[in-house]
Amino acid sequence: MSEEDIGITRQRALFEEISAITGKRPPVVDAGEVLANPATMMSKLCVALDVPVEVPAMTAWPAGSRDSDGVWASHWYHAVEASTGFGKPMDSRKLEDQSAIELSNRMQEHYQALYRYRLT
């Protein structure tokens, strides 16, 4: 796994670029917080984006495929098609591989830079 695979460096660069262009910070959401409280976090995201808040439709859905899934859905979306809402937050995993630990440590700077702007 590489820094590019994780993508947080690019996310931070995009955050900074969009902030500079628009003069506003784009909303940042933490996946763990969304999973812990989907209705609250989705509402906050909608308000931040100035779009209608439609909590029930955004936090629960019928199982099955969707027209928008695309041609590869049957290969990639098994868990999504079986879902009817957000899952539970994952427990933290202890990294044991030294290269993964080092990569995680290097990425913390970028993660924390975005995390401080997350919706709360």
- List the pLDDT tens digit at each of the 120 positions of the chain: 888 989 999 999 999 999 999 999 999 999 999 999 999 999 999 999 999 999 999 999 999 988 888 888 888 889 889 999 999 988 877 878 899 899 999 999 999 999 999 999
| 120 falls within a domain | no
| 34 falls within a domain | yes
pTM listed for this prediction: 0.83
| 24 falls within a domain | yes
Q: Which long-range contacts (CB under 8 A, 24 or more apart) does 95-101 make?
A: 99/1, 100/1
Q: Are 28 and 114 in contact (CB under 8 A)?
A: yes
Domain count, the chain: 1
| 25 falls within a domain | yes
Q: Are 17 and 106 in contact (CB under 8 A)?
A: no
| 26 falls within a domain | yes
What domain range is 104 assigned to?
3-115
